[in-house]
């Protein structure tokens, strides 16, 4: 089946279910998806794409619904929106063939990790400088920049192309700072993962409301932001203040990076545990392996970084440096083509929703 036909079928099925939900409105007080549904009577393709990216798959609507199977309506709104959401990432991110290559296949993500290991073991062996301190004794700063700057910037360009296409598809208006701030408030405490009523979501078990998924998401998000802030602060210290690595435990990069790494390990392991317990039929089973592989990759990046720091001053540093940087390289290059891209699309959906709520 062509991409266009698959997209049309997925959107048509999601539209059918959304229209039934809009007639029923039993879930009116649930997450942001339902107030957005209730604002209108007809739904264009872009509206369905927007609703799909607003959905955080908490599954409370499914377990509250009286029209799920064996009812003839056979509603499964979390799965229908999940498929449309997944399709939008694969369809809009450039280049499209790569966007489709890794979401479904955890083995391909593992293969990319192995390639990252091989590339960095080669770099540490072949490009080792004659002198340097700390990690730079094994791989010079300029060599790291030459490897990781394009590996970071090119994937961000790919994501930006996808977000631009999404913005047009959903019919978003001119960008406004107040919408950005409103979306940031929503994302900061992840309201859409508490079921919309403050009781948690049903992701793990139908009759069990829990905030654990929200907590693990927050640990992952804030851990990632702390790790990014650590790298950014080190870059500023290096280029602006001429303060070069290695940095001590009580330096800004370490005070940000070590807690960030710990939060990332906790968050990703927790998300992997919950995902293993959850019903895959309420998502997109075809991408389960790719999503799990991405979560474990992010966990490995953070855990290997902590291990590298703990091994400072020992003979383990060269090998751990190659392993950690190889994992980081794989993570950066796969960023647009794995579940990581959901953060960019969902945040953009929140910005668009702020526009629609406050025109």
pLDDT tens string 18-42: 999 999 999 887 888 999 999 988 9
Nearest CA-CA partner of 223 in 100, 343, 109, 356: 343
pLDDT band at 218 (very low <50, low <70, confident <90, very high): very high
Which DSSP letter does residue 246 get? P
Q: H-helix or E-strand containing 93? A: none
Confidence check: pLDDT of 326 > 90: yes
Confidence check: pLDDT of 117 > 90: yes
Q: H-helix or E-strand containing 256? A: helix 252-277
- Identify the residue whose tokens are 């970084």: 305
- pLDDT value at residue 81: 97
CB 50 within 8 A of CB 39: no
Pinpoint the alpha helices (H) of 203-251.
212-239
Can you name the residues that pair with 201 across neighbouring β-strands? 210
pLDDT band at 207 (very low <50, low <70, confident <90, very high): low
Confidence check: pLDDT of 116 > 80: yes
Which DSSP letter does residue 54 get? H
pLDDT band at 195 (very low <50, low <70, confident <90, very high): low
325 or 101, greater pLDDT = 325
pLDDT tens column, 277-323: 888 999 999 999 999 999 999 999 999 999 999 998 888 999 999 99
Confidence check: pLDDT of 141 > 80: yes
CB 320 within 8 A of CB 304: yes
Q: Is 55 helix (H, G, I), strand (E, B) or coil?
A: coil
- pLDDT value at residue 198: 60
The rounded percent of the chain whose pLDDT value lies above 90 is 70
Q: What is the pTM of this model?
A: 0.92
pLDDT tens column, 63-82: 889 999 999 999 999 999 99
pLDDT band at 254 (very low <50, low <70, confident <90, very high): very high
- pLDDT value at residue 159: 96
Confidence check: pLDDT of 197 > 70: no
Write down the mean pLDDT value for the chain.
91
pLDDT band at 173 (very low <50, low <70, confident <90, very high): very high
CA-CA-CA-CA dihedral for 206, 211, 216, 220, to nearest 10: 120
The rounded percent of the chain whose pLDDT value lies above 70 is 97
Nearest CA-CA partner of 192 in 166, 225, 214: 214
Alpha-carbon separation of residue 359 from 55, 173, 181, 232, 354 (angstroms) = 21, 9, 15, 35, 8
Residue count (the chain): 359
The contacts of residue 20 (CB under 8 Å, 6+ apart) are 67, 73, 75
């Amino acid at each position: 089946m062509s991409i266009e036909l698959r997209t049309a079928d997925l959107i048509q099925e999601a539209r059918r279910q959304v229209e039934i939900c809009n007639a029923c409105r039993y879930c009116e007080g649930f997450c942001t998806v339902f107030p957005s549904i209730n604002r209108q009577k007809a739904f264009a393709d872009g509206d369905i794409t927007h609703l799909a990216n607003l959905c955080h798959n908490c599954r409370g609507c499914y377990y509250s619904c009286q029209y799920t199977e064996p009812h003839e309506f056979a509603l499964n709104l979390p799965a229908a929106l999940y498929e449309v959401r997944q399709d939008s990432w694969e369809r809009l991110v450039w280049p499209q063939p790569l966007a489709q290559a890794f979401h479904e296949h955890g083995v391909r993500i593992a293969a990319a990790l192995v390639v990252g290991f091989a590339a960095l073991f080669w770099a540490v062996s072949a490009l080792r400088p004659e002198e340097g301190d700390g990690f730079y004794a094994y791989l010079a700063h300029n060599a790291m920049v030459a490897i990781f700057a394009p590996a970071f910037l090119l994937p961000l360009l790919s994501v930006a192309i996808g977000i631009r296409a999404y913005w047009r598809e959903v019919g978003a208006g001119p960008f406004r700072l107040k919408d950005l701030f409103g979306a940031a408030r929503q994302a900061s405490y992840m309201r859409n993962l508490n079921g919309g009523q403050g009781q948690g979501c049903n992701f793990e078990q139908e009759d069990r409301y829990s905030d654990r998924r929200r907590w693990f998401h927050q640990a992952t998000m804030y851990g990632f932001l702390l790790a990014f802030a650590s790298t950014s602060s080190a870059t500023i210290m290096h280029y602006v203040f001429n303060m070069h690595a290695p940095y001590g435990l009580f330096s800004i990069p370490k005070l940000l990076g070590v807690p960030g790494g710990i939060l990332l390990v906790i968050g990703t392991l927790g998300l992997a545990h919950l995902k293993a317990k959850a019903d895959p039929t309420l998502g997109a089973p075809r991408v389960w392996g790719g999503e799990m592989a991405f979560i474990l990759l992010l966990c490995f990046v953070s855990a290997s970084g902590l291990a590298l720091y703990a091994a400072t001053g020992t003979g383990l540093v060269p090998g751990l440096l190659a392993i950690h940087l190889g994992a980081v390289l794989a993570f950066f290059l796969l960023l647009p083509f794995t579940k990581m891209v959901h953060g960019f699309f969902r945040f953009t959906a929140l910005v668009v929703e702020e526009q629609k709520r406050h025109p």
